[in-house]
Amino acid sequence: MTEHTTPTPGPRPRPRITGAQALIRSLENVGVDAVFGIPGGAILPAYDPLLDSKKLRHVLVRHEQGAGHAASGYALATGRPGVCMVTSGPGATNLVTPIADAYMDSVPVVAITGQVPTALIGTDGFQEADISGITLPITKHNFLVTNARDIARTIGEAFHLACTGRPGPVLVDIAKDALQAPTEYDWPVPFELPGYRPVSRPHSKQVREAARMIVEARRPVLLVGGGVLKARAAAQLAELAERTGAPVVTTLMARGAFPDSHRQHLGMPGMHGTVAAVGALQKADLIVALGARFDDRVTGKLASFAPGAAIVHADIDPAEISKNRHADVPIVGDCRDVIADLVAAVNSEHAAGRKGDYSAWWALLDNMRTTYPLGYEQPADGSLAPQYVIERIGKMAGPEAVFVAGVGQHQMWAAQFVSYQRPGTWLNSGGLGTMGFAVPAAMGAKVGRPDAQVWAIDGDGCFQMTNQELATCALEGIPIKLRARRGCGRRDRDRGQDRGPAGGHRLRGASRRDGVADGAGRHEQRRHPVRPRHGARLGPDRLTRARWPRTK
């Protein structure tokens, strides 16, 4: 006789799944919808659940570098973190350039790499590379996961780190046996990030002081950097500019943060900037730097940069403040909060009858911009000037289109001659200056914003570095548009730019003519153990860590 008993209700059993399934489920839970990658031995277990997923699209790229730049393009165009996934060893090392690129430009990217099984780590196993060691100085943080039960929490932490504070790339290296092992799945999982508390709210005393300096200044300039875009603070910036009446300059990383058509916009500063923007900074008595880092391409020789200006410097990363130029008023905080608070503080100054008078300043600046407008020479042989081609494309594509550039002369022209009106419409590799960025980043941008027209403006040198991703675009149905310039960086060299040796040589068979091509859519170790996670020491924003001691 069989005895029937009613089971006593206990705690609900947690689902047991593999580490690989936990990885994919966690990516779904943080809201990822696209993963750029290439499979290989160590990451292979993740591919079955990835391809089964109804929420994640996998874009099979042609080279891991393409996966990394595509993740950046996706992130820059959407404001959401980009994700790439590759295998161990050479797959992972091929990600080094795009990870360094994302680090320099503060782009939220989560890079997932397969690692050899735990028992092989440190033995020079087949396709082993200490990718967390290699990427230590070029990631905001990185993790090595050797236990399936840590996967979900680590993915949650990685996305939190990539997107909060100063954004940046985070690498999660997962040993193959951890992907294969069974584990219980819990979501959400509490973070274990001791010491990670990025400051967001600015100090009100500093903000009030900045507002006082703005109304007392005679020649103020708002120097806007990429941090304003990262903080989604374009609306607040427009309000601040209009309330104060101060001129605005937008760095290469901030094109689109303030409409080019706005009367108060003087253009881009620096060695490729407009005369009015450079002149304004040089003659300013106050620079209010918002999410900008006084990059050498903006300042030139630091000692002679803006010699008469007092500096208000607002940035979410305290490490940026006074790094290159001393800040008289440092403000640490998220640019959106900082600018909103500045607007309120300026309003209070105005209410108290203190308002800046910049009429003489504007007379000088207006004279500069009418005397020295941006321009270019028309070729005497009747061919089209490349600047004209870029300008025309910009006008035809309209203000909603997204432009992605490679690195070189064409990048500067795309920054200068397309009129940017909205955030997220100009993507480029500003900090690292990575040739090969344009095509894969445009692909990523188009995946993230399928309704936008996405243009890659490239040079032929850059194009040859990653053009295989056009095949990815064609096979995956990602219709980007491409305009590649033939010219081999020569004009850049002629303009005395800091160039690599290839920049000065014309490649055999390349002509100097320009053309518009239709994009892909139509035809177009060391022998030492990898540092364990607890080797990390988390700093206030960018994470600082003691290096794990190397074994002989």
Phi then psi for residue 315, to 5 deg, are: -155, 150
Position 96 contacts ligand TPP (CB under 6 A): no
Residue 73 CB, nearest distance to ligand TPP (Å)?
16
Nearest residue to ligand TPP, using CB? 459
**Separate counts of helices (H) and strands (E) for the chain:** 21, 18
Query: Closest separation between CB of residue 439 and ligand TPP, Å?
Result: 11
Tokens found for residue 86: 């590759």
Strand-pairing partners, residue 112, are: 85, 172
Q: How far is the CB of 449 from ligand TPP (least distance, A)?
A: 25
392 binds ligand TPP (CB under 6 A): no
- Shortest gap between Cβ of 299 and ligand TPP (angstroms)? 20
Number of residues that bind ligand TPP (CB under 6 A): 22
Which H, E and C letters describe 330-376, residue by residue?
EEECCHHHHHHHHHHHHHHHHHCCCCCCCHHHHHHHHHHHHHCCCCC
Asked whether position 407 contacts ligand TPP by CB under 6 A, the answer is yes
CB 310 within 8 A of CB 213: yes
Q: By CB under 6 A, tell whether 502 contacts ligand TPP.
A: yes
| Residue 434 is a binding residue for ligand TPP (CB under 6 A) | yes
Q: Which of residues 66, 108, 423, 459 is near ligand TPP by CB under 6 A?
A: 459
Per-residue b/e over 44-70, b at no fewer than 16 CB within 10 Å?
Answer: ebbbebbeebeebebbebbbbbbbbbb
Mask: binding to ligand TPP, 410-429, rule CB under 6 A, as x and -? x-------------------
| Residue 468 and residue 474 in contact, taking contact as beta carbons nearer than 8 Å | no
Taking contact as CB under 6 A, which single stretch among the options 24-32, 199-207, 407-415, 514-522 is the one that binds ligand TPP? 407-415
H helix intervals, 113-253: 131-134, 151-163, 176-180, 204-216, 226-230, 234-244
Provide, rounded to whole angstroms, the least separation between the CB of residue 507 and ligand TPP. 8
DSSP 400-438: T-EEEE-SSHHHHHHHHHS---STTSEE---SS--TT-H
Q: Note whether 109 and 170 are within 8 A (CB).
A: yes
- List the one residue out of 211, 237, 241 whose CA is nearest residue 362: 241
Q: Which stretch binds ligand TPP (CB under 6 A): 78-86, 276-284, 308-316, 500-508?
A: 500-508
Note whether 105 binds ligand TPP by CB under 6 A. no
Phi, psi of 3, rounded to the nearest 5 degrees: -90, 125
Q: Does 409 bind ligand TPP (CB under 6 A)?
A: yes
x/- string (CB under 6 A) for ligand TPP, residues 13-32? Answer: --------------------
Question: Of 233, 230, 200, 229, which Cα lies nearest the Cα of 339?
Answer: 233
Contact between 104 and ligand TPP by CB under 6 A: the answer reads no
Residue 236 C-beta: closest distance to ligand TPP, Å: 33
Helix (H, G, I), strand (E, B) or coil at 494: helix
Shortest distance in whole angstroms from residue 543 CB to ligand TPP: 27
Q: Nearest 5°: phi and psi at 360?
A: -65, -35
Residue 430 contacts ligand TPP per CB under 6 A: no
Positive or negative torsion for Cα 106, 107, 112, 115: negative
- Is there binding between residue 460 and ligand TPP (CB under 6 A)? yes
Binder among 41, 122, 300, 433 for ligand TPP (CB under 6 A): 433
| End-to-end CA gap in the chain | 68
> Is position 222 an interface residue for ligand TPP (rule: CB under 6 A)?
no
Could you say whether residue 182 binds ligand TPP (CB under 6 A)? Answer: no
Per CB under 6 A, does 500 bind ligand TPP?
yes
Nearer to ligand TPP, 272 or 481 (CB): 272
Smallest separation, CB 100 to ligand TPP (Å): 11
Of residues 192 and 494, the one with the C-beta less far from ligand TPP: 494
Nearer to ligand TPP, 165 or 461 (CB): 461
Which among 510, 520, 418, 531 has a CA at the least distance from the CA of 462? 510
With binding defined as CB under 6 A, does residue 431 bind ligand TPP? no
Distances 169 to 68, 191, 231, 269, 536 between C-alpha atoms, Å: 10, 18, 16, 27, 16
Distance CA 115, CA 87 (A): 7
Q: How far is the CB of 255 from ligand TPP (least distance, A)?
A: 17
Q: Which of residues 53-72 bind ligand TPP (CB under 6 A)?
A: none
Report the nearest approach of ligand TPP to the CB of residue 68 (Å): 13
Q: Which two tokens stand for residue 70?
A: 């595509």
Is 92 a binding residue for ligand TPP by CB under 6 A? The answer is no
Q: Over the range 447-459, which residues count as b (16 or more CB within 10 Å of their CB) and which as e?
A: bbbeebbbbbbbb
Residues 326-345 that bind ligand TPP (CB under 6 A): none
Query: Cβ 435 to ligand TPP, closest distance in Å?
Result: 4
Residue 361 or 413 having the CB closest to ligand TPP: 413
DSSP 63-89: SHHHHHHHHHHHHHHHSSPEEEEE-ST
DSSP code, position 505: S
Binder of ligand TPP out of 487, 520, 531, 541 (CB under 6 A):
487
476 belongs to the binding site for ligand TPP (CB under 6 A): no
Residues found near ligand TPP in the complex (CB under 6 A) = 406-410, 433-436, 459-462, 485, 487-489, 492, 499-500, 502-503
